[in-house]
Amino acid sequence: MNYRCPLCRQPLLAQAGGLACARGHRFDRARQGYVNLLPVQRKNSRRPGDNQAMVRARRAFLAAGHYDELMTSLARQIDTHAGTACNLLDVGCGEGSYTARLHRHRPELLVHGIDISKPAIALAARLDPQAHFAVASSFDLPFFDHVFDLVINIYAPAPAEELRRVLTKDGVLLVVRPGPDHLLGLKELIYEQVRRHPEAAPELTGFRLEQRLRVQREHVLEDRQAIADLLRMTPFYWHLDHQRQQRVLALERLHTPIDFAIDRYRPLS
């Protein structure tokens, strides 16, 4: 599957060391194997997306198996809805733990992952060299229309119009969101007033909701490093003052619910 040029919308074809379109726009391939399709003029900051500390903390936390229930549930959805020749896109794939896990589960799939964070994509490409990764914006996906049978979106902001555009007419969109009680134990330690996430699945323009699945359990962390990784992989850490950061980082045990919602959508005809 060819990418499309983020500047002129022409097909990008493989050339030595990267990709190029007929109009001469060229995008180099990094030594880790990914391509950077986020033009400088489209960046909203000098280093957009999650930073190195966040993505490494998330990689360590997920590699330790703390969210394995979610990965197993996603794999079941893949088995139900992905054919043998399925093209899968992980929008906002981060450091690639979910992408790689699903690809190992179904190695015959053609898998793409995009994220706006360069450090995240560099880690993802190393973890799964057989998948195709690109630094790109979910608000301007570097793909042509209706090319993916299955699109996955885990926690990442992405406009429904773009997700609908790249999905085939019979495709499936899986969106993972935090459930109402997700990380409630952690939030109670750092916020004076805790707000739960919405119970209901949101409506997405151009889609109909088929099903909402919940993945829930009580989780106990008894490792200071795991607690630190959990805190640093979330936006909570970066919005806390130093005193509250240290209070959480000093914990030797954390009891908190994990609560995910997996919403399955189909495009409207």
Q: How far is CA 192 from CA 166, 185, 189, in A?
A: 42, 12, 8
Range of the domain at 192: 42-267
pLDDT one-digit tens code per residue, 121-140: 999 999 999 999 999 999 99
Is residue 92 assigned to a domain? yes
In total, how many domains does the chain have? Answer: 1
pLDDT one-digit tens code per residue, 228-255: 999 999 988 888 888 888 989 999 999 9
Residue ranges for the chain with pLDDT beneath 50: none
Closest CA to 93 of 34, 180, 44: 34
Paired sense of beta strands 87-91 and 148-154, if any: parallel
Is residue 220 assigned to a domain? yes
Is residue 144 assigned to a domain? yes
DSSP SS3 for 196: coil
Is residue 156 assigned to a domain? yes
DSSP SS3 for 117: coil
Is residue 13 assigned to a domain? no
pLDDT of residue 240: 85
Report the alpha-carbon distance of residue 34 to residue 203 in Å, rounded.
33
Report the alpha-carbon distance of residue 103 to residue 59 in Å, rounded.
16
* CATH number of the domain enclosing 218: 3.40.50.150
pLDDT of residue 28: 92
Query: Helices then strands (H, E): number in the chain?
Result: 9, 11
Element (H, E) at 253: none
